[in-house]
Amino acid sequence: MPEKTGAAEYGARIRRAESLSSPHSSATEFLQFYVHVVSFQKLLHANIAAAHQVKPSSDVSSELRADIDFAVVLPHFRGYLSVIENHAPPALAESARQMALLGSDSWIASLEAYWQHAGIYEQQVGAFAQFLPRAFLQPYVEFRAGSLPRAPQVTTPRLCPLCGSRPLLGVLRPEGDGGKRFLQCSFCLQEWEFRRILCPSCGEETEDKLPVYIAEDSPHVRVEACDTCKFYLRTIDLTKDGNAIPLVDDLAAIPHTLWATEQGYLRLQPNLLGT
Amino acid sequence: MSPTRRDFLKLTTIGGAAATLFGFDLKPAYAQLRTLKIARANETRSTCPYCSVSCGVIIYTIGDRAKNVTPQVVHVEGDPDHPINRGTLCPKGASLEQDILNERRLLKPQVRRPGGTEWEDISWDDAISEIAQKVKKTRDDTFIEKDAAGHTVNRLESIAWSGGCTDTNEFNYLVVKTMRSLGVVHLENQARV
């Protein structure tokens, strides 16, 4: 399992997005925008960490979905909206501009709505509408999740043991001569162990009904589908490419998403950019 | 006022599924999609056939499941969820793919006659008949009904059986029954699968 998220992890995401920008021509526009987003997230994460060092009594160790500490995050929201307005494609930039015109009460309502419900309900269609609160709160939720104690895992839960959200991604990490599967949470981005050859949506375990689709030119990106419930899990195989950063390589795999949709499969949860 | 689930669902369904909503250009992605060579693989859990440790493996087969296509094994790796090996494999286990796909693998029975230097092909029927004849002749010639002291022993010391590690428990049960009925006493199995 990866170490706690910090500046190094954000730096790795930036570098990976930059390195994938050129060879993955179809994802260049997405990744160049993502670099701006994650650069902002890196700064925000550092600010959150600094604020909690100054004020160590802050309540970061209670339940993950406890109230947001708006005194820490809200001062950064306007700056965030201008980053999006300046670098996003037109539709999203307009959305950020509209949000900037609203008052802080509306910002709080939007952030709280996302905070309380994200990842819990089926929301394959919500990537665009969720983007503004999701990208902004990601560093905050990662910081909080990193501070929570982890109980030893004895079962195979299909929802995040920390926050109860649905998985965004599968990650295969080297274990012996194979790859152990972890699921990455769509809300708090933490990983938990999950058995191979088992559908995280419906629990199907018949091997014939769980095909894995792999493209020749990107063997580390897997579409792990279920022919029973027709959902699929995007999985990044780190035994095939140890340089991959699951969160970033997932964003770059746009053709895989289009292909899976053509085959009639639905993604369990959309990623940040709906790819 | 705290947001309700209804508010949230309203928020999430304003847009739509595709990344086009963000305003990104998906034409390059569609162009790349047409060049993707995607293969369907199936992962199957199995047990390494070599030794009595019984390591878990995952076997990858590809094939589009058409009736006239035989699925092809493309990769074998350790099963990370298996409690015995947790994904590890010894060098023999790690080369299982070559055990399944190997041009030197024997696909038919062969026999090397006494004094011969070459292996000859033989049909399954002929092989089984010859083995049965030799077993019967050996047993008829060497069966020991009583030992030197006159005790009834009914044993056959001129035939031995050594079971392989790929033999299943059920197969080994039948082997023991068969060998004991012949009187074979030199009998060893590797019962574990």
Residues of A in Cβ contact (< 8 Å) with B21: 91, 127-128, 274
Are A102 and A175 part of one and the same domain? no
Disruptive mutation site among B21, B22, B90 for chain A (greatest number of A CBs within 10 Å): B22
8 A C-beta contact, residue A160 and residue A190? yes
- Domain total in chain A: 2
Contacts of A266 (CB under 8 A, 6+ apart): A124, A230, A231, A232
Longest CA–CA separation in chain A, Å: 55
User: Are residues A196 and B79, on separate chains, in Cβ contact within 8 Å?
Assistant: yes
Other CB atoms within 10 Å distance of the CB of residue A35: 19
pLDDT at A60 over 80: no
Q: Provide DSSP, B89-115.
A: --HHHHTHHHHHS-TTS--S-EE--TT
Tens-digit pLDDT profile for residues A129-171: 789 999 999 999 999 988 887 777 778 899 999 888 999 999 9
8 A C-beta contact, residue A58 and residue A33? no
Q: Which domain holds residue B162?
A: 143-188
Are A37 and A142 part of one and the same domain? yes
Amino acid, res. A177: D
Residue B181 lies in a domain: yes
Helix (H, G, I), strand (E, B) or coil at B11: helix
Residue A124 lies in a domain: yes
According to the model, what pLDDT value does residue B66 have? 67
Q: Is A255 near chain B, with CB under 8 Å?
A: yes
Are A90 and A133 part of one and the same domain? yes
Residues of A in Cβ contact (< 8 Å) with B53: none
Chain B residue with Cα closest to A130: B12
Residue ranges of B 36-55 with Cβ closer than 8 A to chain A: 36-45
Closest CA of chain A from B190, distance in Å: 25
Between A182 and A23, the more confident residue is: A182
Tens-digit pLDDT profile for residues A43-59: 999 999 998 876 554 44
Q: What is the mean pLDDT of residues A241-267?
A: 93
Other CB atoms within 10 Å distance of the CB of residue B63: 15
Residues of A in Cβ contact (< 8 Å) with B94: 177
Residues of B in Cβ contact (< 8 Å) with A126: 11-13, 15
Task: Please report the beta strands in chain B, taking only residues with DSSP state E, as ranges in sequence order.
Answer: 38-47, 56-62, 72-78, 110-111, 120-121, 144-146, 152-162, 184-188
According to the model, what pLDDT value does residue B12 have? 40
Q: At what angle do helices A77-87 and A28-54 cross, to 10 degrees?
A: 170
User: Are residues A212 and B40, on separate chains, in Cβ contact within 8 Å?
Assistant: yes
User: Are residues B29 and A26, on separate chains, in Cβ contact within 8 Å?
Assistant: yes
User: Are residues B8 and A116, on separate chains, in Cβ contact within 8 Å?
Assistant: yes
Q: Is B177 left (phi over 0), alpha (psi -120 to 50) or beta?
A: alpha
Residue A160 lies in a domain: no
| Domain end (from A117, A147, A177) | A147
Amino acid, res. B42: N
Residue ranges of A 183-202 with Cβ closer than 8 A to chain B: 195-197
Q: Which domain holds residue A38?
A: 7-147
Residues of A in Cβ contact (< 8 Å) with B71: none
Are A121 and A206 part of one and the same domain? no
pLDDT at B33 over 60: yes
Average pLDDT of chain A is 88
User: Are residues B2 and A116, on separate chains, in Cβ contact within 8 Å?
Assistant: yes
According to the model, what pLDDT value does residue B15 have? 31
Are A178 and A112 part of one and the same domain? no
pLDDT at B47 over 70: yes
Residue B160 lies in a domain: yes
Residues of A in Cβ contact (< 8 Å) with B5: 117, 121
Tens-digit pLDDT profile for residues B97-139: 998 888 988 889 999 999 999 999 999 999 999 999 999 999 9
% of chain B surpassing 70 pLDDT: 85
Residues of A in Cβ contact (< 8 Å) with B7: 113
Residue B21 lies in a domain: no
Residues of B in Cβ contact (< 8 Å) with A129: 11-15
Residue B135 lies in a domain: no
Q: What is the mean pLDDT of residues B39-43?
A: 92
pLDDT at B192 over 80: no
Tens-digit pLDDT profile for residues B113-123: 999 999 999 99
Are A17 and A52 part of one and the same domain? yes
Closest CA of chain B from A220, distance in Å: 12
- Res. A64 pLDDT band, cuts 50 70 90: confident
Residue B66 lies in a domain: yes
According to the model, what pLDDT value does residue A56 have? 52
CATH number at residue B95: 3.30.200.210
According to the model, what pLDDT value does residue B139 have? 97
Amino acid, res. B171: F
Are A78 and A199 part of one and the same domain? no
Facing residue for A125 by CB, picked from B15, B79, B88: B15
Between A183 and A178, the more confident residue is: A183
Closest CA of chain A from B101, distance in Å: 19
According to the model, what pLDDT value does residue A126 have? 67
| Domain end (from B80, B100, B120) | B100
According to the model, what pLDDT value does residue A8 have? 87
Residue A154 lies in a domain: no
Q: How far apart are CA B123 and CA B108, in angstroms?
A: 8
- Domain total in chain B: 2
From the list B133, B128, B184, B176, the residue with the least C-alpha distance to B156 is B184
Residue B53 lies in a domain: yes
Are A171 and A142 part of one and the same domain? no
According to the model, what pLDDT value does residue A142 have? 92
Q: Is B31 near chain A, with CB under 8 Å?
A: yes
Residues of A in Cβ contact (< 8 Å) with B3: 109, 112-113, 116-117
User: Are residues B11 and A91, on separate chains, in Cβ contact within 8 Å?
Assistant: no
pLDDT at A3 over 60: no
Q: Is B85 near chain A, with CB under 8 Å?
A: yes
- Are β-strands B144-146 and B152-162 bridged in parallel, bridged antiparallel, or unpaired? antiparallel
Residue B11 lies in a domain: no
Residue B64 lies in a domain: yes
- Bridge partners of B111, per DSSP, are B120
